[in-house]
A and B are shown apart, each in its own frame.
Chain A
Amino acid sequence: MPAVSKGDGMRGLAVFISDIRNCKSKEAEIKRINKELANIRSKFKGDKALDGYSKKKYVCKLLFIFLLGHDIDFGHMEAVNLLSSNKYTEKQIGYLFISVLVNSNSELIRLINNAIKNDLSSRNPTFMCLALHCIANVGSREMAEAFAGEIPRILVAGDTMDSVKQSAALCLLRLYRTSPDLVLMGEWTSRVVHLLNDQHMGVVTAAISLITCLSQKNPEEFKTCVSLAVSRLSRIVSSASTDLQDYTYYFVPAPWLSCKLLRLLQCYPPPEDGAVKGRLVECLETILNKAQEPPKSKKVQHSNAKNAILFEAIALIIHYDSEPNLLVRACNQLGQFLQHRETNLRYLALESMCTLASSEFSHEAVKTHIETVINALKTERDVSVRQRAADLLYAMCDRSNAKQIVAEMLSYLETADYSIREEMVLKVAILAEKYAVDYSWYVDTILNLIRIAGDYVSEEVWYRVIQIVINRDDVQGYAAKTVFEALQAPACHENMVKVGGYILGEFGNLIAGDPRSSPLVQFNLLHSKFHLCSVPTRALLLSAYIKFINLFPETKPTIQEVLRCDSQIRNSDVELQQRAVEYLKLSSIASTDVLATVLEEMPPFPERESSILAKLKKKKGPGAVSGNELEEGKREGGELNGAGERPGDSSAIGASNAVRLHIPTHSLNYDIIYPPPPLFQSTPSPSADLLGLRSAAPVSAAPPSAGSLLVDVFSEAGPAAPAAGANDDGFLRFVCKNNGVLFENQLLQIGVKSEYRQNLGRMYLFYGNKTSVQFVNFTTTLKPVDPLVEGGAQVQQVINIECLTVFSDAPLLNIKFRYGGALQNLTLKLPVAINKFFQPTEMSSHDFFQRWKQLSQPQQEAQKIFKANHAMDTEVLKAKLLGLGTALLEKVDPNPDNFVCAGVIQTKAQQVGCLLRLEPNAQAQVHTHFPVRALGLESRPLGVSSVTTLSLCVSVVHHSFICNKCL
């Protein structure tokens, strides 16, 4: 084949390119370019009409200049003129220019579209392809509007050339990606799917990309592609390496098509048809077998192509997650790759194993590779491989190996690359919390983390350690001692000072008995760090000091002196000054009793999903979080905590607030308010926290990916589970009813009676001592009760409830008492869910459906499709729906199988009207379709909180139906 001289070379262009290459400096290059631009401009504007060749040459020069990185603001018109040239090369350059320099100038777009239209109808396949390439490259909405109707016709027409079909398929794909609303397959669907059977491999290769994309969006309409894809795959996998001629790549038959077929199958659950499934399993086995065969070539292309198929097959096996045998084989195969000499394979094996780790069938098999992975973390020379190793360690971590993995990660952190430190820190913090069996280990780990990588320890991490220490009194003394020791280091990180200040301020008394850590020693140690710290930390330390005055009256004179000195009381920072002044005043005028009340120990934080996990998810984006984490952290609403609990965030807290926050919840004049009152005034309102839900999309039957944003209020409480949700079962029982037993163990039984009207409720709690021994120091976080509960006796507590705004997390009730000397600590979810504030609404069929139709915007609807866990009995369903609090509207839905309900959720902030419709699937007897539509009854548009409400309703109902404990 003749080389560069091909085609009609443009001499002028080549000369120009040489000139540019010969420029010695950037300035010289710019000068040369400007000269050329002036020349071209004058040619274009000149009187003499340019011939096609010159026009092409100048347009090509402009393109070259643009690709060098310079702006081009003319020449578009000349390029458009080239489109209608009869000369192929001129047309081609015109199209190239348009493709690269799209200009949405409407005048031009019209002209371009005209030229494209002409070429599309020219019946000349080469011209048609050029036009299709241009549409695919530009892919603008205007082009979609003009051509989305025509291209499917070209794609499926019997007389279309193969090459045109290929271009048409991918052109359509591009338009579908940019403007899915304009590309309607409709009547063509079946013919497009059948392109999978096309004789021409190129057509299949191009069409399958389109089909995969369409299947992801409309799985139901395209599901016939599954069996076609399986048989196509089977034919390729079983073919000899020469059968497919030029589609064989380095002895691997059709690797691109194979990968795409396997990818397409990942849009669907395993085939239901036994024969199809059998054939597919056979294919997957063959692919796994081939991996063990000796290579047919030493070339890397051969092994890459072969392994590309293998990895895609493994991805499919993981996606199905139902064939234990295949999963274990996949895991073994990846295990071999972990020690392969090709870095690429080691990288991919680590990556792929991460997803395997989340399958229950292969989790244990993955764990056997722990030593290899730790070794990779230590020895891999490439940071991106080490990153994968760290990810895999994180994914394979469980209770059995947490200590080892956390220790390895910590030691890696000492030398880790800066780029991945923050993420590593988050991961260590999460693992330490999630698998903490003894909390002293947890405290040690986090303090180590701050010591090793203090700069990368985000606020969430140190907030979290404080939340946990506050909530667990068995670790408080240890934490105080450890942090005291850590602060001894001459240079310690500011984050350590924050944690130290907070913990000693709360629990310094627990170590004050030791003369080496007497109150004054503690104070001096903290104060020695004061001057090195930033303003927020100093503010926190000042709060710690005032707490010291309460804990240790003997430190009062020293601390007052510090507060009184000019650098505090006249500090130029308003926040610091205000704190110093107010604390000084407080300490001098308040009586000991008042001080003790105001500065009492912090009440426990409500247990929620770890805010760190939410942060990691945000950092990595959806999909990056491994499967088991998704299981445990399903609630995307976990963002709730992000700002919800900020123990030390003093930056926005006025000193007056700082004092108020120390008032224990139970001495406020209300019993309990929903959502639980923020501990700090500075925290955003809970509804603002729910912003994470704004994008909440209706959940379809698709596999539960990270995209499902429905707040799953009842899913397992976050990793902080040890204390919270000890009564999940009991809690679920109350979804559809108001009275019953909330919790019971060998010692204690808690019964509940409750009633609700509008946004108010009253709950009677009955604490029954089941033993014959008295409980002493019996306290609950709600309000004071008699501290003594005699054996066999029952104590009653009444609380009033007001729903202020939409909420997702049930309020928590913390109960503490001593039984035979041992402290019992119990945190329960109070059985209050949003549906308790439903007010039933009766309406006619006409009204219902009229409103239903009005509420059709995406943000007004949420729905869920789920499997009922047990047979659906009409009467049971009815009882559940009534129990939900809505009005069950009989004879309203024309389909007698469906249930429709209406109600208004009453909160103080707003009222949200909800229409619910439950559509049991009669054939399957297992699937239930459950859309809810709602409207904020206030005139303002449906806000975030209403969307939340919808999601919550769906979630509540969902749980009430899959849980057989509800009735």
Chain B
Amino acid sequence: MQFMLLFSRQGKLRLQKWYVPLSDKEKKKITRELVQTVLARKPKMCSFLEWRDLKIVYKRYASLYFCCAIEDQDNELITLEIIHRYVELLDKYFGSVCELDIIFNFEKAYFILDEFLLGGEAQETSKKNVLKAIEQADLLQEVNYSLSLSLPHAVFMV
């Protein structure tokens, strides 16, 4: 996967994740073009389109569009399910996720994504394992480690 974008029906970008090095200018240009292209499509249309030399896979969940750019040899359907799994993860973490959750807790949305996908590839597809990792991280923030370096191990192992 080359990048993933989340944007609203109004075209507001809510999350952007780039797995290939691009300049800020180029990123903005791509975002603008793609948001426009995807928003112009009608509901029953297919979820895939060719764009430049990439394949775009997108799906709308309520007011949010999830949009991934994959390469020629990548699998469209499994990418569609990548999107769905990410939505499930957000949903489980926030409890009936809505656009506002992602706006106000954007950093969490990024953390969850990093646990799920890394370098544009699936790192961990088990919902349980991803959420476990995030929960452990959430637990960690309550603890101050300044006293001991071995403590984090202990907490983590619990």
A761 an interface residue at 8 Å Cβ cutoff?
no
A137 to B144, CA, bound (A): 27
A587 an interface residue at 8 Å Cβ cutoff?
no
**Chain A residues with CB below 8 A from B145, complex form:** 86-88
B126, B146, B152: the one within 8 Å of A201 (CB):
B126
Q: Say whether A7 contacts B152, CB under 8 Å.
A: no
Q: How far is the CB of A634 from chain B (nearest CB, A)?
A: 20
Q: Known contacts being A6-B108, A126-B152, A170-B118, is A305 close to B78, with CB within 8 Å?
A: yes
Q: Say whether B45 contacts A136, CB under 8 Å.
A: no
A311 to B75, CA, bound (A): 8
B24, B46, B82, B129: the one within 8 Å of A384 (CB):
B46
Q: Say whether B141 contacts A67, CB under 8 Å.
A: no
A122 an interface residue at 8 Å Cβ cutoff?
yes
Q: Say whether B124 contacts A202, CB under 8 Å.
A: yes
**Chain B residues with CB below 8 A from A343, complex form:** 44-47
B123 an interface residue at 8 Å Cβ cutoff?
yes
* Chain B residue with Cβ nearest A258: B78
Q: Known contacts being A3-B95, A17-B103, is A312 close to B48, with CB within 8 Å?
A: no
A14 an interface residue at 8 Å Cβ cutoff?
yes
A256 to B93, CA, bound (A): 22
**Chain A residues with CB below 8 A from B120, complex form:** 174
A683 an interface residue at 8 Å Cβ cutoff?
no
A340-356 contacts to B (CB < 8 Å): 343-344, 346-348
Contact with B along A156-198 (1 / 0, CB 8 A): 0000000100110011011001100000000000000000000
**Chain A residues with CB below 8 A from B126, complex form:** 201-202, 245-247
Q: How far is the CB of B46 from chain A (nearest CB, A)?
A: 4
B82-123 contacts to A (CB < 8 Å): 82, 84-85, 92-95, 101, 103-108, 110-111, 114, 118-123
**Chain B residues with CB below 8 A from A93, complex form:** 107
Q: How far is the CB of B88 from chain A (nearest CB, A)?
A: 9
Q: Say whether B21 contacts A139, CB under 8 Å.
A: yes
A63 to B15, CA, bound (A): 12
**Chain B residues with CB below 8 A from A137, complex form:** 114
**Chain A residues with CB below 8 A from B125, complex form:** 201-202, 205, 247, 249, 254, 256-257
A71 to B136, CA, bound (A): 34
Q: Say whether B101 contacts A4, CB under 8 Å.
A: yes
A174 to B114, CA, bound (A): 13
Q: Known contacts being A1-B93, A382-B46, A384-B48, is A7 close to B141, with CB within 8 Å?
A: yes
**Chain B residues with CB below 8 A from A171, complex form:** 118-119
**Chain A residues with CB below 8 A from B153, complex form:** 123-124
A623 to B74, CA, bound (A): 13
A173 to B20, CA, bound (A): 12
A344 to B156, CA, bound (A): 43
A54-91 contacts to B (CB < 8 Å): 60, 63-64, 67, 69, 71, 86-89
Q: Say whether B114 contacts A311, CB under 8 Å.
A: no
Q: How far is the CB of A60 from chain B (nearest CB, A)?
A: 6
Q: How far is the CB of B31 from chain A (nearest CB, A)?
A: 9
Q: Say whether A256 contacts B122, CB under 8 Å.
A: yes
B127 an interface residue at 8 Å Cβ cutoff?
yes
A385 to B44, CA, bound (A): 12
**Chain A residues with CB below 8 A from B84, complex form:** 301, 304
Q: Say whether B78 contacts A133, CB under 8 Å.
A: no
Q: Known contacts being A17-B104, A86-B145, is A209 close to B122, with CB within 8 Å?
A: yes
Contact with B along A373-387 (1 / 0, CB 8 A): 000000001101101
A355 to B117, CA, bound (A): 30
**Chain B residues with CB below 8 A from A209, complex form:** 119, 121-122
A92-137 contacts to B (CB < 8 Å): 92-93, 96, 100, 122-127, 129, 132-133, 136-137
* Chain B residue with Cβ nearest A133: B114
* Chain A residue with Cβ nearest B53: A621
**Chain A residues with CB below 8 A from B94, complex form:** 3-4
Q: Say whether A124 contacts B95, CB under 8 Å.
A: no
B72 an interface residue at 8 Å Cβ cutoff?
yes
Q: Known contacts being A69-B13, A255-B81, A384-B45, is A4 close to B104, with CB within 8 Å?
A: yes
A89, A140, A245: the one within 8 Å of B141 (CB):
A89
Q: Say whether A385 contacts B124, CB under 8 Å.
A: no
A359 an interface residue at 8 Å Cβ cutoff?
no
A553 to B114, CA, bound (A): 81
A87, A123, A249: the one within 8 Å of B81 (CB):
A249
A259 an interface residue at 8 Å Cβ cutoff?
yes
* Chain A residue with Cβ nearest B77: A308
Q: Say whether B118 contacts A92, CB under 8 Å.
A: no
A21 an interface residue at 8 Å Cβ cutoff?
yes
* Chain B residue with Cβ nearest A17: B104
A494-524 contacts to B (CB < 8 Å): none
Q: Say whether A344 contacts B46, CB under 8 Å.
A: yes
A307 an interface residue at 8 Å Cβ cutoff?
yes
A256 to B110, CA, bound (A): 21
B30 an interface residue at 8 Å Cβ cutoff?
no
Q: Say whether A344 contacts B13, CB under 8 Å.
A: no
**Chain A residues with CB below 8 A from B143, complex form:** 88
Q: Say whether A246 contacts B78, CB under 8 Å.
A: no
Q: Known contacts being A67-B16, A96-B111, A305-B81, is A205 close to B122, with CB within 8 Å?
A: yes
A755 to B142, CA, bound (A): 89
A263 an interface residue at 8 Å Cβ cutoff?
yes
* Residue among B46, B85, B103 facing the most chain A CB atoms (10 A cut-off): B46
* Chain B residue with Cβ nearest A621: B53
A717 an interface residue at 8 Å Cβ cutoff?
no
* Chain A residue with Cβ nearest B19: A174
B29 an interface residue at 8 Å Cβ cutoff?
no
B48, B103, B118: the one within 8 Å of A136 (CB):
B118
B19, B72, B105, B141: the one within 8 Å of A88 (CB):
B141
B9 an interface residue at 8 Å Cβ cutoff?
no
Q: Known contacts being A308-B75, A382-B46, is A166 close to B123, with CB within 8 Å?
A: yes
Q: Say whether A127 contacts B106, CB under 8 Å.
A: no
**Chain B residues with CB below 8 A from A21, complex form:** 103
* Residue among A64, A88, A132 facing the most chain B CB atoms (10 A cut-off): A88
**Chain B residues with CB below 8 A from A266, complex form:** 73
A206 an interface residue at 8 Å Cβ cutoff?
yes
**Chain A residues with CB below 8 A from B137, complex form:** 88, 92, 126
Q: Say whether A124 contacts B152, CB under 8 Å.
A: yes
A170 to B42, CA, bound (A): 36
A438 an interface residue at 8 Å Cβ cutoff?
no
Q: Say whether A307 contacts B119, CB under 8 Å.
A: no
A8 an interface residue at 8 Å Cβ cutoff?
yes
A64 to B106, CA, bound (A): 8
Q: Say whether B53 contacts A255, CB under 8 Å.
A: no
* Chain A residue with Cβ nearest B16: A67
**Chain A residues with CB below 8 A from B114, complex form:** 133, 137
A593-619 contacts to B (CB < 8 Å): none
A190-237 contacts to B (CB < 8 Å): 201-202, 205-206, 209
Q: Known contacts being A96-B110, A348-B77, is A249 close to B124, with CB within 8 Å?
A: no
A584 to B149, CA, bound (A): 96
* Chain A residue with Cβ nearest B12: A68
Q: Say whether A246 contacts B95, CB under 8 Å.
A: no
A86, A256, A347: the one within 8 Å of B48 (CB):
A347
A348 to B79, CA, bound (A): 13
**Chain A residues with CB below 8 A from B48, complex form:** 344, 347-348, 384
Q: How far is the CB of B133 from chain A (nearest CB, A)?
A: 6
A residues whose Cβ falls under 8 Å from a Cβ of B: 1-4, 6-8, 14, 17, 21, 60, 63-64, 67, 69, 71, 86-89, 92-93, 96, 100, 122-127, 129, 132-133, 136-137, 139-140, 163, 166-167, 170-171, 173-174, 177-178, 201-202, 205-206, 209, 245-247, 249, 254-257, 259-260, 263, 266, 301, 304-305, 307-308, 311-312, 343-344, 346-348, 381-382, 384-385, 387, 621, 623
List 8 additional A-B contacts (Cβ < 8 Å) besides A89-B141, A166-B118, A305-B81: A4-B104, A124-B156, A174-B19, A202-B124, A209-B122, A263-B75, A311-B75, A348-B77
**9 tightest A-B CB contacts, nearest first:** A308-B77, A174-B119, A209-B121, A308-B78, A170-B118, A343-B46, A246-B126, A88-B140, A89-B141
